[in-house]
Structure 1
C-alpha cells in the first residue's frame, strides 16, 4: 500500500497532530500548526506572555527585547491570560522556539529552548474548531524579534520580524478528522490514539465511539457493552470481557482504549473476496504490546445471519510493516454461538481491530454425494486392479511380454492412486502435520504415476501402430518414466517444503464443516506447482491420448470385425480409458453443465480400474470365441487384433 503524503496544509492539519501529544521536541513536526523561529533578545530577563480567547479570528506571535507574546482568538473553550518567567542567561543572545496549535483537542503549547509550556490543555475532541491557519499581517524590525521564521519547516522570512499574524477558518473538526483517517492505511490506529489522548473517558466521533478504561492495582477484569448511542437496538452492540491478566504487574495504572467503529470504510483495504461485518471493535493498551495472555479477551458480536456460502472468522487488522495492512487469524479463535452471534477469543493485543470477517468460500455443491461416489468407485477399482493384475501375471507367466508389462504398470499406478485417495481423508483428521504431508505427497505420487503410465500406453501403442522400431525400447525405460519421474518430482517438492498439507473443500450447504484431505495446500508455491506439473501433464496426456485414439481408429476403420457395433464401442471405450482421455472432463467443469460434468468426472475416473478389468475380460472372452470358431476370423477388439502378431512374437 503506497504511503499517502499530505500535499497541502489543510490535508495535513487534522491527521498529523495525532501521533505525538507528550513533551517532545523533534517529533513535533507532524502537528497541525507549527510555527518556529529564532528569538533574538538581549540575553537578560525573558518572559513568555499569552492572552488567548475563544473564537476564530487570528493568532499573533510577536517578540521583542524581553518578551515572546502569543495572543488572539482561535480556541474553542480555552481562555487563558498570563505571563511566564523564562530562565535567563547573560551569555545567550537568541533562543529557538516553536508554537504548536492542535485544534481538534483545543490544545496550544509553546516550546522555548527545548522546554514546553502548555498554554491550553487538551479539552476533549471539539466539534467546531479554528484551523487552516494562513499567514496574515507581518511587521519587520532591525534588531530584536523573530529571525528565520518557518511554518512546518518551510521558511517564511530570513529577516528579523517583530510580528507574525495567522488567520483561521472554522470547520467541523470531527467530520474532517474521520474523512482524513479513512484515507490512511493506519486509520484505525490514528482514531485509537486520539481517543486515548483526549483526556476524556468517552469520545464520540462520526466514525467511531471510544471508551477509555483505567486499570489500577485492584483490577479483577471487567465485562461491558460497547454501546453506540445512535443505534436503536441495544442488543446489536458488541459485548467485551477484559481479563485481569491484561493489567501489567509492573505498572501502577494502565489505560485500555476500546473503540467501536461505526463505519467499515477504514477497513476496506482488507483481503479480496471478503466482507466485513458492520460491528468492528478495536482494543489497545496504552504504550504496551500485549501477547500470549493466559486468559483471552472475549468479544461477542451480534449480527445478521451469515450467508450459507460464507463463513465468519475472527481476524486482526495488524500493521507490522509501514503502511502495509495484514489480516491475520493467528491468536484468535472463532466460536460460533448461533447464526446471529459470534465470539472472538484472542490471546494478544496490539494496535489492531478485532472483527468478524465474512469470507466468501469457493464451495462445491453436492460434496457429500460426490465424496460417496468417489469413495465407492475407488473401492471397486482397488478390487478390480488386484484381479486384473493377477490375471495379467498369470496370463503370461514366465514370459516377459512387453505389452503385458506396460499394462501391469498402469494397473499398479491406478491401484496406488485409489488407495491413497481413500486414506487421505483419514490422515487429514489425525491432526499430525508430518503425517498429512506424507499422505499428500503419496497421493500426488499416485496421480503423477497414473498420468505417466497413461502417457506410456500412448507411446507404446504409437510404436506398435507405426512400427517405428523393429525392436521396441527396453521395458525398464517405461518403468523409469512411469514411477521414477513422479518419485523425482514429489521428492523435489518435499525438499522445497510447504507444498503438501491439509486442504479443505467447502460444501455449499454447510461451510462450517469442510471436507479435509491431505493434498497440495493453497499457498503460492503449491498452486504454482499444481498448475505447471499437474495441469500441464494432464493436458499433455489428454491431448496425446485423443490424437492416438484418432490414429488407431483411422488404421483399423476398414477391418471386417470393426464393423460390428459392440466391438467398435468396446474398443473406443477401452482405448479412451487406457489413454486417459476421460480426464479431459476436468477441463469442462464450467457453464450450466458443470455439475453434470463433475458427477461424470468422479464416476468415470474413480471406476477406471473396474472399466479396464471389464475391457480386458471382454477381450479375452471374444478372443477365445474367435479361436473356437470354424472360419478362424477374429472377433477380438480392434486393438487386440492389431497387437496379436506382436504378442505371438
Structure 2
C-alpha cells in the first residue's frame, strides 16, 4: 500500500516533467490496477490513503491533459475528466457519466466563488473493485478545481447503478454515503451519510443529493426496511392512545382543585412535555423536510419530561429524607419559577449548546432524530442516564427511610401511606420511561432490529396510558372530585 501511494504521489509530482498529462494519467491507473488486483480493501486506513493519493494525483495531472475531455478505463478503474480553459469562467449545467455512475452539477459549483484561475477541472472517477460487502454500487470519487467543497451552495446529484439487482429492492434500505476520513491519520475512515440524502431509488439505480464532494457510494442494508405497514399502524394507534390519555391527564391536573399542589404541578408539566413530544413524534419523525426543527423539538421535550421526573424525585427526597414538605413561604410565586427553571431551562440549555456545537447533529437520512456521528446522541442519553441514576438513588433511599418509619413505634400511617403511594408511582413511572429509551437506543440506529423497534413503539405508547391509570384512575381524590 505504501509503495502504491508513493508511486501515485510521485506521478503527481512529475506533472511538469517529461511525461505528458495523458501518460501521467495512464501511469496512475497502472499503479491503481496493480494495487487493487491484490483483492478487496478491508483496512480503512488503506482506503483513505488510496483515495487521497488518487485525488491529489489527478488534480495535478488534469491541467496537463491535452484534450478538454478525457476518458480512460482499465480493469479496475474508470475516469472521466473535463477541463475548461478560457478567460471567463464557464457557466451552466454539466454532467459526467460512465457505466457505473452519473454526476450532475454546474460549472459555477466547479469554479467556486474565488478568483477564476483560467481553467476548471471536473472529474468523475469510479473504482471497480474497492467495494465492501455492504456497498451496492461502485465507489465514485468526484472533485473539482474549487477548493471549497465542504459546503456547496448547490448540491451535486449522483446517480448510481446497483451492483445487485434484486426483485425485492423496493423493500431494501439504500443509503447514500461518502468516505469520511478520520480526524487523525491513525483513525482511517468510515462511511458516513452526513450531507447526503437519497432522492429516489428503484431496483436498478439510486439517486443521491450531496452538499459536498468526496468519494461516494450506495450502501445496502443487509436487512429489510423495518418501516412495515404493521409497525406504522402500531405506532399510529399506540401513540394516538397515548396522546389522548396524556390530554386527559393534563385536563385532570389543571381542573381538579382538590389535588392542586407541587406534586400535581410537576405531573402536569411532565404530561405536557410528553404530549408535545408524542405529537411531534407522530407527525414528523419520518418527514425529513424540516428535519432539524423536528429533531430539536423532540430533543427538547423528551429531555423536559426527564427533567420534571428529576424534580419529582427531589420532592420525594425532601419529603421523606429531610422531612421538608415545601413550607408555606416556598409555595408562593418563587417555587413555580424554580420548578420551571429546572424543568424547562435545563433541557433548553442543553439543546442550545448542542445546536451551537454541532448543528448537523440534528436529523438523519432516515429519522428526524439525533445523529450517531461524533457521539452527538449522548447530548440526549447523557442527561437521561444521569437523571435515571439520580432518581434511582433517591428512590432507594426513600424506600429505605419509609421502611424505617413504618417500623417505628408511633408511625403516622396516613402520611406514610400517602408518601408510599407517591414513591410507588414515581418508581413505576421511571421504569417505563427509562426502559423505553433503553430500547430507543437501538430504534434509531441503522442496525436496529425489528424486535427493538416493536418494543420501543409499545413502551412509547404505554407511557401515556400508564400515567393516566396511576395518577387519575387509581387516585381516589380525583374520583371523588369527578363524582
Distance in 1 of aligned mates of 2:359 and 2:109: 36
2:7 maps to: 14
Distance in 2 of aligned mates of 1:375 and 1:501: 31
| Deviation of the 1:444 alpha carbon | 2.9
Q: Is residue 2:271 matched to residue 1:421?
A: no
* Contact 1:314/1:356, CA 8 A, preserved across alignment: yes
503 and 456 in structure 1: CA distance in 2 versus 1, 3 angstrom threshold: farther
Distance in 1 of aligned mates of 2:23 and 2:251: 83
- Match of 1:607, SS state, is helix
1:301 maps to: 161
Q: Is residue 2:276 matched to residue 1:410?
A: no
CA RMSD of aligned residues (A): 5.6
1:356 maps to: 218
Distance in 1 of aligned mates of 2:121 and 2:294: 46
Match of 2:311 among 446, 452, 469: 452
Distance in 1 of aligned mates of 2:210 and 2:360: 24
Match of 1:279 among 125, 138, 158: 138
| Deviation of the 1:290 alpha carbon | 8.0
Greater share of helix residues, 1 or 2?
Answer: 2
- Match of 2:355, SS state, is coil
| Deviation of the 1:538 alpha carbon | 1.8
| Deviation of the 1:498 alpha carbon | 0.7
Structure 2: gaps spanning 5 or more residues: 39-45, 409-416, 443-448
Kindly indicate whether structure 1 or structure 2 has the higher relative contact order, using CA contacts under 8 Å at least 6 residues apart. Answer: 2
553 and 193 in structure 1: CA distance in 2 versus 1, 3 angstrom threshold: same
Distance in 2 of aligned mates of 1:551 and 1:342: 62
Structure 1: gaps spanning 5 or more residues: 25-106, 109-117, 129-171, 228-236, 269-273, 397-403, 507-511, 559-568, 625-649
Distance in 2 of aligned mates of 1:470 and 1:433: 41
Q: Is residue 2:191 matched to residue 1:342?
A: no
2:472 maps to: 613
1:383-405 CA distances to partner (integer Å, 9 max, x unpaired)? Answer: 233224433x2x37xxxxxxx52
Alignment of 1:430-469 (within 5 A): 431=290, 437=296, 440-462=299-321, 468=323
Match of 1:203 among 72, 75, 83: 72
* Contact 2:273/2:305, CA 8 A, preserved across alignment: yes
Alignment of 1:327-406 (within 5 A): 334-345=198-209, 352-358=214-220, 366=231, 368-391=233-256, 393=257, 395=258, 405-406=261-262
* Contact 1:452/1:482, CA 8 A, preserved across alignment: yes
Q: TM-score, normalised by structure 2?
A: 0.65
Q: TM-score, normalised by structure 1?
A: 0.51
Greater share of strand residues, 1 or 2?
Answer: 1
458 and 616 in structure 1: CA distance in 2 versus 1, 3 angstrom threshold: farther
* Contact 1:318/1:326, CA 8 A, preserved across alignment: yes
* Contact 2:142/2:215, CA 8 A, preserved across alignment: yes
Larger radius of gyration: 1
1:361-406 CA distances to partner (integer Å, 9 max, x unpaired)? Answer: 9978836524531342232232233224433x2x37xxxxxxx523
2:385 maps to: 535
2:459 maps to: 601
596 and 492 in structure 1: CA distance in 2 versus 1, 3 angstrom threshold: closer
Alignment of 1:116-155 (within 5 A): 122=23, 125=26
| Deviation of the 1:328 alpha carbon | 6.9
2:41 maps to: none
Match of 2:176 among 300, 313, 326: 313
Distance in 1 of aligned mates of 2:254 and 2:395: 23
- Match of 2:10, SS state, is helix
- Match of 1:342, SS state, is strand
| Deviation of the 1:342 alpha carbon | 0.9
Alignment of 1:189-338 (within 5 A): 189-190=55-56, 192=58, 196=62, 201-213=70-82, 225-227=97-99, 237-240=100-103, 256-264=122-130, 275-285=134-144, 287=145, 289=147, 298-304=158-164, 305=166, 310-315=173-178, 334-338=198-202
| Deviation of the 1:537 alpha carbon | 1.0
1:72-93 CA distances to partner (integer Å, 9 max, x unpaired)? Answer: xxxxxxxxxxxxxxxxxxxxxx
Distance in 1 of aligned mates of 2:461 and 2:104: 52
| Deviation of the 1:339 alpha carbon | 3.5
